[in-house]
Every structure is written in structure tokens, then in C-alpha cells.
């Protein structure tokens, strides 16, 4: 994904790149003979097996095999890029929105417009659809996103008579109250740049933008510095715990009440449910705290597309499957149950599993909160084609700050030049915003 809602606008910056193509085999469509069966391979880390099994039962002539790859790490993407260079890629792959520009840079995605993908556009949420659009042509089918919200322990808020924070000032005040009882209002993951990026994003920051053929990097704008200063204060005063998310210690903290809440994406509902089962009925969801009282500003963490990689011999069949997987109601329900995220397909919330009251969340229709969040995501946020490498710099720096070596503000300032250098190393024009 290049940009939230404006991918095509930044495409010239990709086109200006001098990097050689990463795919050694180009996509071709091999006509099927009568009765011929097609076998497709899908690489993913998301538990899609039940949906794929349903597809295989309904479509015995197009069999899809799921092969699991590492999740949310460069390792899975390295394997994909290696397969492209070796000329032996899978037909389809799970690719997060932020990573799509890097695949475009390596000529690793199939142009789906020539196979009729654009006729399907109206069935998807517009901004998610645009994550796979470059220079007006479609290269990936959107699957799901991750609008942000605040998961919180209602029982602990009530036990200690703390109001659920509606603003960031109230969030800090609540954090102080919870520390008096030996708990933390949330964890601060020291190694998660994507999580942290959602916070300046909500404030209105734009870490990268494209100006003609040049990428402009701005990690140190006033919005980012304000957010960094806020978290520097929480860290300095030990009001949040520096515990890495989605690991055993983190889930133990959710289960025991060490953490009374978590600023997370919609798809983390399944992780909380699965890893803190004894807290059933105690959780609720609220909107992110706001910088201005009464606002509803939000952001996104995560989100993926089903990409058809360069080199497949069956793009027509692969597109047919990718569309069914991400839009057919019976498939969406199975994916929702697997915790895959906020659907890219347009849907009536009340007609899906997402709209039902959830006993784990005390009967709350908590996805109504995420629906509001999704509607208020700043869709002008962009990702560069070096996000994987550049976010690693940010992550390393913030990790040191969380360990008491420097500040989050300093971490962003230090990462600024490295971000620009990453882009230039790809043969792209880039500069700092300030």
C-alpha cells in the first residue's frame, strides 16, 4: 500500500526507481481445457484454512493449497521475494498493505486490471481497495484492515472507580490512579513500530508523502513530536509497562489485571479472547482517547491484501478465488471467526457475525465502536516502499528509549535520516521535510 486513499498519487515516485525487476518469471494466462483442474498455492500466516476448505468443496476444479509462512515479519516477505527471483512463486500471497509498494518496486505483483478486477471495485470499501491500486491499475485484492480502539477491563475500572478516558489527558490521569493499585493502564511495546505509528497517525501526522517524483520523510513534525512527548512522559513517570505485545508476558498481564486495557486494532479481539479466557465478560471497547474533546479521530494498525504474485500461470482462477475469499458472505463469516480483521468487503454490520453482541465483551456490540473508528481513519496516511526496513530503525530506536536510553522524540529524530537513506538506496528520490 502506498497511501491510504491516494496510492496512485505517489506512484511516480515508484516509477522513478532504478531498481531492477525482482521477478524472473512473468504472469501468463494458460487457457484451461475442458475438465482440466487447476492447483493454486496460497502463502499466508492468517488461519484461512476453513474458508479455503469451503472454497475447495464448492470449486473442485480450482483447488487451493494453503502454505503457512512467518507472520508480520520480514522473514515471510523475504521468502516471497526470493521465490519471485527464483521464478517459482506461489500463485497468491498474503501481503500487508504497507508492504505492497515494496513488491511493486520489485515488479512482484500481477496487473489484475487486464483480468477484470476493476469490475469488482464497488463491492469493497473504497480506501481499502485503493491500497492495491498503482497508477490507476489494480494489483491486489483487499482483505481486511485494523481500525484502532481501546480494549479495557470494565471490572477493574469499576472496582477502582476510574472513568474510561475520552481524551489523552484523561488517559494520563487514569494511568496515575491505576498505578496506586499496582496496575498499569496499558503496556508500551518497546519493539513495535507499526503499533506506535498508529498514534501519530491519529494525531494527524504524515510520516511520508510524495511530491512529484520525490518521497518526503517527516518523522519530526509537530504532531509526531507531541505524541512522542506524551509517551516520553508516561515512560519517565513509569505509568505504562514496557512489555512486548502478543507474547506470553503480555497476555498474562491482560489475564491477571496487570494491564487494565490495551490500545489495539480490531483484529486483536480474537487474541485477547484466545489468550485471556478467564476474563470472559470483563472486557469492553471504547474509541481511542482524543486530543480534542468530542472528536472521533482514529487510525489503523495492520491490514492485508490477497496479492497475485508475478509469475502465476493461472491469474484468472487466482483472481476468482481471491475475490470469493474476501467478499463472499460465507467466507467473510469464517474469516471473522478466525480473527482476520475488519473486512474490506462492503457489508451490513448487523447481518454478519461482527454485529452480534459478544459474551466475552459483556454482551457489548463492540464492533460498532470499530465501525466508527474505521469511518474516522485518516486515509491520507501513506507508506513508503521501504517501510519494512525504515520501520526497523524506528523500532530499534524506540526500544532503546523504552529501556531508558534516550527519549521517543530522540528516537524519531535519529530515524529520520536513516529513513531517507533507505529510500535513496532503492534508487528513489527522497528528502527530509525539515
Q: Tens-of-pLDDT digits for all 434 residues of the chain?
A: 333 333 334 454 554 343 445 788 999 998 888 888 999 999 999 999 999 999 999 999 999 999 999 876 667 999 999 999 999 999 999 999 999 999 999 999 999 999 999 999 999 999 899 999 998 999 999 999 999 999 999 999 999 999 999 999 999 999 999 999 999 999 999 999 999 999 999 999 999 999 999 999 999 999 999 999 999 999 999 999 999 999 999 999 999 999 999 999 999 999 999 999 999 999 999 999 999 999 999 999 999 999 999 999 999 999 999 999 999 999 999 998 888 889 999 988 888 889 999 999 999 999 999 999 999 999 889 899 999 899 999 999 999 999 999 999 999 999 999 999 999 999 999 999 99
The answer to whether the CB of 39 falls within 8 A of the CB of 63 is yes
Q: What region, left, alpha or beta, does residue 281 occupy, with left being phi > 0 and alpha being psi -120 to 50 degrees? A: left
Instruction: Produce one character per residue of 125-156: b if its CB has 16 or more CB atoms within 10 Å, e if not.
Output: bebbbbbbbbeebbbbbbbbbbbbbbbbbbbb
- Domains annotated for the chain, with CATH where assigned, are 7-145+301-375 (3.40.190.10), 147-299+381-432 (3.40.190.10)
Cα 302 from Cα 192, distance rounded (Å): 12
The answer to whether the CB of 207 falls within 8 A of the CB of 218 is yes
Closest CA to 265 of 363, 205, 186, 342: 342
- Distance spanning both ends of the chain, measured CA to CA: 25
Distances (CA, A) of 185 to 174, 284, 384, 393, 403: 7, 14, 32, 27, 19
Amino acid at each position: 500500500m502506498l497511501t491510504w486513499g491516494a496510492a496512485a498519487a505517489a506512484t511516480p515516485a515508484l516509477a522513478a526507481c532504478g531498481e531492477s525487476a525482482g521477478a524472473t518469471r512473468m504472469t501468463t494466462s494458460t487457457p484451461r481445457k475442458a475438465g482440466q483442474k487447476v492447483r493454486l498455492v496460497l502463502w499466508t500466516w492468517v488461519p484461512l484454512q476453513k474458508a479455503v476448505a469451503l472454497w475447495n468443496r464448492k470449486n473442485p476444479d480450482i483447488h487451493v493449497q494453503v502454505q503457512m509462512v512467518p507472520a508480520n515479519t520480514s522473514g515471510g516477505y523475504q521468502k516471497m521475494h526470493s521465490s519471485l527471483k527464483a521464478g517459482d512463486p506461489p500463485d497468491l500471497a498474503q501481503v500487508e498493505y504497507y508492504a505492497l509498494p515494496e513488491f511493486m518496486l520489485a515488479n512482484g505483483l500481477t496487473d489484475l486490471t487486464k483480468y477484470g478486477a476493476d469490475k469488482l471495485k464497488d463491492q469493497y470499501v473504497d480506501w481499502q481497495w485503493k491500497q492495491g491500486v498503482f497508477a490507476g491499475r489494480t494489483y491486489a485484492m483487499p482483505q481486511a484492515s485494523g481500525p484502532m480502539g481501546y480494549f479495557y477491563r470494565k471490572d477493574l475500572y469499576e472496582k477502582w472507580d476510574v472513568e474510561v478516558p475520552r481524551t489523552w489527558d484523561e488517559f494520563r490521569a487514569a494511568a496515575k490512579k491505576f498505578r496506586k493499585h499496582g496496575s498499569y493502564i496499558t503496556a508500551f511495546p518497546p519493539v513495535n513500530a507499526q503499533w506506535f505509528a498508529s498514534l501519530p497517525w491519529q494525531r494527524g501526522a504524515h510520516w511520508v508523502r510524495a511530491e512529484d517524483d520525490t518521497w518526503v520523510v517527516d518523522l519530526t513534525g509537530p504532531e509526531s513530536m507531541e505524541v512522542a512527548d506524551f509517551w516520553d512522559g508516561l515512560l519517565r513517570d513509569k505509568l505504562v509497562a514496557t512489555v512486548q505485545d502478543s507474547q506470553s508476558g503480555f497476555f498474562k498481564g491482560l489475564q491477571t489485571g496487570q494491564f487494565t486495557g490495551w490500545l489495539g486494532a480490531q483484529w486483536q479481539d480474537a487474541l485477547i479472547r484466545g489468550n485471556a479466557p478467564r476474563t470472559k465478560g470483563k472486557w469492553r471497547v471504547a474509541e481511542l482517547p482524543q486530543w480534542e474533546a468530542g472528536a472521533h479521530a482514529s487510525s489503523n494498525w495492520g491490514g492485508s491484501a490477497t496479492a497475485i504474485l508475478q509469475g502465476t500461470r493461472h491469474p484468472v482462477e487466482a483472481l476468482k478465488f481471491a475475490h470469493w475469499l474476501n467478499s463472499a458472505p460465507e467466507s467473510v463469516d469464517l474469516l471473522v471467526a478466525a480473527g482476520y480483521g475488519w473486512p474490506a468487503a462492503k457489508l451490513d454490520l448487523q447481518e454478519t457475525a461482527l454485529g452480534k453482541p459478544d459474551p466475552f465483551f459483556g454482551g457489548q456490540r463492540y464492533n460498532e465502536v470499530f465501525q466508527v473508528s474505521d469511518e474516522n481513519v485518516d486515509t491520507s496516511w501513506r507508506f513508503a516502499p521501504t517501510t519494512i526496513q525504515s520501520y526497523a530503525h524506528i523500532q530499534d530506536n524506540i526500544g532503546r528509549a523504552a529501556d531508558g536510553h534516550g527519549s521517543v522524540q530522540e528516537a524519531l529524530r535519529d530515524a529520520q535520516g536513516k529513513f531517507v537513506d533507505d529510500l535513496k538506496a532503492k534508487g528513489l528520490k527522497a528528502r527530509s521535510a525539515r
